[in-house]
C-alpha cells in the first residue's frame, strides 16, 4: 500500500498513521482470537490445513481476520516512476502490510518494472524481496541479462516497514 509518512512513532515502532490503520481495521474486522468467532475456517478447511498443507496446528487457521482485512487493500500496488523516482507525492512511502499475526513465515514481495530503456527498447526488471523472520534478501533480475544483484540484510520484521 502507499501512504504518507507521519514521522512520529508509537513506543512499538509503528508510525502513527500505521497504528491508526491498525486501530481502524481492528474496529472493522476484529482479530480472530477464539475458534468459532468467524465461520471460516470450517472443519473441511482445518482438515485440509492439517493433512494436505501440513500446518503445525489447527490454530494456524485462525487467521480469518487477515483474509478479511486484505480484501480492503488487495494484493498489489502500482506506482508510476517519473524521471527515475517513484511518484508518491511529497511524503509518500510504499509499505508492505501483512495482516496475518498467527505465525512467523517468509513473505516474498515481487516488484516488476515495465517500460523502455533510453534506446526505446522495452524491458522488464523483476525485484524479489524475501521478508524473512531474521532479515531481508533482495534479488534484481533483468529478463535479458539475468541476475543483476543480490543482497541480504539482517533486521527484525518490524524494522522492514517502509520499502
Taking a C-beta distance cutoff of 8 angstroms, is the pair 62, 32 a contact? Answer: yes
pLDDT, one tens digit per residue, over 8-28 is: 888 888 888 888 988 999 999
Q: 109-156, pLDDT tens digit by residue? A: 777 766 666 666 666 666 666 666 556 666 666 656 665 556 655 554
21 C-beta neighbours (distance < 10 Å), count: 19
pLDDT, tens only, 60-117 = 888 899 999 988 888 778 777 777 777 888 888 777 788 887 777 777 777 776 666 6
CB atoms within 10 A of CB 65: 22
Amino acid at each position: 500500500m502507499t501512504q504518507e509518512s507521519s514521522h512520529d512513532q508509537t513506543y512499538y515502532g509503528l508510525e502513527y498513521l500505521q497504528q491508526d490503520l491498525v486501530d481502524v481495521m481492528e474496529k472493522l474486522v476484529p482479530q480472530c482470537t477464539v475458534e468459532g468467532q468467524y465461520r471460516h475456517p470450517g472443519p473441511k478447511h482445518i482438515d485440509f490445513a492439517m493433512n494436505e498443507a501440513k500446518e503445525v496446528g489447527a490454530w494456524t487457521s485462525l487467521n480469518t481476520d487477515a483474509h478479511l482485512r486484505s480484501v480492503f487493500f488487495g494484493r498489489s500496488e502500482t506506482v508510476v516512476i517519473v524521471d527515475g523516482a517513484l511518484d508518491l507525492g511529497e511524503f509518500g512511502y510504499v509499505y508492505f502490510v501483512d495482516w496475518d499475526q498467527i505465525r512467523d513465515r517468509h513473505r516474498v514481495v515481487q516488484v516488476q518494472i515495465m517500460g523502455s530503456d533510453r534506446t526505446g527498447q522495452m524491458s522488464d526488471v523483476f525485484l524479489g524481496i524475501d521478508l524473512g523472520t531474521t532479515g531481508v534478501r533482495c534479488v534484481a533480475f533483468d529478463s535479458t541479462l539475468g541476475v543483476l544483484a543480490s543482497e541480504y540484510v539482517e533486521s527484525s520484521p518490524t524494522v522492514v516497514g517502509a520499502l
